Amino acid sequence: MRLTFATPDLKRPGAFVVFATDGGKLSASADKLDKASGGALKRALKNSKFKGRKGQTLVVLGPTGLKASRILLLGIGKVDKVDDLAAQSLGGAIFRSLGSSGDKTASVIVDTIKGVKLTGAEFAANVAYGCQLRSYRFDKYRTQEKPEDKPSLTSVAVMVKEVAGARRKFAPLGNIADGVFFTRDLVSEPANILYPISFAARLRALTKLGVKLRVLDEKQMKKLGMGALLGVGQGSANPSRIVAMEWNGAPKAKDKQPIAFVGKGVTFDTGGISIKPAGGMEDMKWDMAGAGVVSGLMHVLAARKAKVNAVGVVGLVENMPSSNAQRPGDVVKTMSGQTIEVINTDAEGRLVLADALWWCQKTFKPHTVIDLATLTGAIIVALGHHHAGMFVNNEKLSDQLIASGKGTGEALWRLPLGDAYDKQVRSQIADMKNVGGRDAGSITAAQILQRFIQKDVAWAHLDIAGVAWSNSDAGTVPRGGTGFGVRLLDRLVADHYEGK
Ligand code: BES
Ligand code: MN
Ligand code: ZN
């Protein structure tokens, strides 16, 4: 979708979007359109339940006296509640209402509204950003779709007095949207197209933004002793890879030590020999969402030239059953030297991360490591689809992450770590086993990861199994791969890890 900013012009063709506040009070431009159309808006108001509540809409089709095809009146609710997130969800509501309306173009008029704390430029930029995020669609494999069945809206002009200011405010948001789309594309791809080697190849795109790539193949990983990651991939015809993406944007030498992001990239998870049931198994194409988010985040940081040294590491494997697959009961040796008894080959993400986390710390010496993984079904049982699970060994990092989640609408909920849980993964024959029984499944998984975190490293694990994919459209996120985590971690970096 094409997004532009312009000064207000009420004489354009196409759809118009104007706002009303709580109680149904029209904005100045809404008032003007009402007058120009002989009172069409106010007549419609009188005959509807529209009260200007946040996200509420009222449409007047073919208003007389105007070139406009329609007027969409959009409620913004209580003026003092309008912040950047609220403006973004208004942008989402605009695409929800007009995306398939038949109109190709829309003009959104952002007036100065008394009581709204955002400047006109901020309001306009955030509306545009939300609209952009909601317009995402993964349709590259729909070859027979008729043009009339595709979304009609291809161009949105956000009209505001402060055009230059709006463009300036939008620039970094546009970078974030690009990164979110990069992630959503990866997460949406089927596993016959996206497997470790093709995933690594896609990351080449990041080099254009100034990201340095390093790819480890199986031979190199074997030499490094990554028996856990390689064990997961050994049943697949698709060889495993690790990719590191480095963005060095810190201007000062004292900020050299990087922050690291590590993603689980299981490009398909059949469960292996502990095979999953057939129903819903297709969902396991997005078991690489953690890696997808890390990739999209690096895309954002590089595109907006973040003043930070950051490294993204993704562990890419396919978990398949075959004559060469690892068996329940196998014992694997990790790069760290610790051994793991593989009780269930479907608990593979922790095995992949054990080696990816260790290699990341050994290679890049980060002060902070944040991993993202669609790690456990148990986190969906606990939190549903409304929070990602967070496990963290550092109070400051915990506070920062919770705040960044609230600020971006990507909510986190902290769960505990502790010795009592750690005991659940003790093994009779190895240093640990890869499952800790039915109880507290997400926590025992996190305990295993923590065994691969070095002393003095601030660490957080985000279990995104419940939030990486959505089955319904909502706000700024259409159904499908959500990109959850990109916005949150970009905010974390911007607020706490960028040198000035
Ligand atoms: N990839 C799954 C977790 C998952 C489930 C992600 C549903 C997204 C949606 C993970 O590898 C897995 O299979 N976990 C097992 C662990 C169990 C064997 C201890 C699970 O959650 O059942
Ligand atoms: Mn699994
Ligand atoms: Zn998995």
Cα gap 244→313, rounded to integer Å? 4
pLDDT digits (tens, 9 = 90+) for 85-119: 999 999 999 999 999 999 999 999 999 999 999 99
348 lines ligand 1 (CB under 6 A): yes
- Strand pairing category for 458-463 and 368-373: parallel
- Please report the pLDDT score of residue 84 as a whole number: 97
- The neighbourhood of ligand 2, an ion, using CB within 5 A, equals 269, 346, 348
* Distance from residue 296's CA to the centre of ligand 2 (Å): 23
Q: What value, to the nearest 5°, has the Cα angle with vertex 266 and ends 260 and 269?
A: 155
Cβ–ligand 1 contact at 436 (below 6 Å):
no
Considering the candidates 51, 78, 161, 276, report the single residue annotated as catalytic.
Answer: 276
Asked whether 480 and 287 are in contact (CB, 8 A), the reply is no
Domains of the chain, by residue range, sit at 2-161, 176-496
Q: Is 66 exposed, middle or buried (0-12, 13-18, 19+ CB in 10 A)?
A: buried
Mean pLDDT of 321-332: 98
pTM greater than 0.95:
yes
Distance in angstroms (rounded) separating the CA atoms of residues 271 and 269: 5
Per-residue pLDDT tens over the stretch 11-57 = 999 999 999 999 999 999 999 999 999 999 999 999 999 999 999 99
Distance CA 8, CA 222 (A): 62
Chain segment 257-301, per-residue pLDDT in tens: 999 999 999 999 999 999 999 999 999 999 999 999 999 999 999
Q: What is the pLDDT of residues 409-421, one digit of tens each?
A: 999 999 999 999 9
Pairing assessment for the beta strands 412-414 and 388-392 based on DSSP bridges: parallel
Q: Indicate if the pLDDT at residue 500 is higher than 80.
A: no
**Do 475 and 481 meet the contact criterion of CB atoms below 8 Å apart?**
no
Q: Using 50, 70 and 90 to split pLDDT, how confident is the model at 137?
A: very high
Quote the CATH superfamily of domain 2-161: Leucine Aminopeptidase, subunit E, domain 1 (3.40.220.10)
Pick the CATH number of 176-496 from 3.90.1150.10, 3.40.50.300, 3.40.630.10, 3.40.50.1480: 3.40.630.10
CB 349 less than 6 A from any atom of ligand 1 = yes
Q: Measured between alpha carbons, how far is 232 from 476 in angstroms, rounded to an integer? A: 35
Quick one: pLDDT band at residue 255, thresholds 50, 70, 90?
confident
